[in-house]
A and B are shown apart, each in its own frame.
Chain A
Amino acid sequence: NAGVTQTPKFQVLKTGQSMTLQCAQDMNHEYMSWYRQDPGMGLRLIHYSVGAGITDQGEVPNGYNVSRSTTEDFPLRLLSAAPSQTSVYFCASSYGGAGVHNEQFFGPGTRLTVL
C-alpha cells in the first residue's frame, strides 16, 4: 500500500494563479481532510469529507475548494492564490466510523510558496 500520496511536493505560484493539490489514498478510508500548517500555528483544518460526494468546511476554508468524486481522491483547489496561502499543506485520511479511534494517516505534504 502506498498510503496517502500528495503531489506536487513543492510548488511556487504567482499571486492570482490557480492550481490543484492532489491527494490520493489506497486504504479505502471514508474520511479525508486537508490541513495547512504555518510556523507556530499547528495544523488548521481547511476542508474535510466523510465519503464520496460529501464535503464540508473546516476552520479556514476561504480561498479553497474541494470535491470528492471517488473514495480514493480528494483534490484541493486554490482559486486565486494569495501570499497568505504560503504554507505546508497536508492531506490525511482515516477509517472513521462510530467507536473507531479515527487514527489519521498523513501524506508527505506539499510546500507551497505564493509570490
Chain B
Amino acid sequence: GQSLEQPSEVTAVEGAIVQINCTYQTSGFYGLSWYQQHDGGAPTFLSYNALDGLEETGRFSSFLSRSDSYGYLLLQELQMKDSASYFCAVRDTGGFKTIFGAGTRLFVKA
C-alpha cells in the first residue's frame, strides 16, 4: 500500500520562507509531486521530483530524498495569495496511479 504524511497546518508571516514536509511509504515509487489548492478551487500542479535533489520554479522549490522517503516544498517570499492547501502526491511504480497526501493548510499572516 501507499501512504503519505504531511503536517495538517502551517502558519507563516508575509515575506517569510516556509517549508512543508512530506514523508511517504510506497510499494513502488515513480516520483513526488506537489499541488496547490485554493478554497473552492481545483488542485493545480506546482512541481515534480523524480530524482534526488532540489527543483526550483520561481519562488517555489521542491526537494526529494528517495533514500529517506522524504520530500519538502519550500515557499519563499510568502505572499497573502499563497494561503492555500498544499498536497504532496506519489506516482506508483507503473506510473499509472497517483496517490495524494491529506494536505497542509498554509495560513499567511500580514
Contacts and interface: CB of A to CB of B under 8 A. Distances in A.
A102 B98 CA distance: 9
Given A42-B103, A90-B43, A103 B98 contact: no
Contact of B95 (A41, A58, A59, A102): A102
A96 B95 contact: yes
Contacts of A109: 42
Contacts of A45: 97-100
A44 B2 CA distance: 12
Contacts of B95: 96, 98, 102
A77 to B, nearest CB: 20
Residue among B35, B42, B97 with most chain A CB within 10 A: B42
B44 interface: yes
A106 B101 contact: no
B7 interface: no
A103 B43 contact: no
A114 B61 CA distance: 40
Nearest to A49: B96
Nearest to A90: B42
A15 to B, nearest CB: 26
Contact of B96 (A40, A43, A48, A59): A48
Residue among A31, A102, A103 with most chain B CB within 10 A: A102
Interface of B: 8, 31, 33, 35, 41-45, 48, 50, 87, 89, 91, 95-103
5 contacts: A45-B99, A102-B31, A103-B33, A104-B98, A108-B42
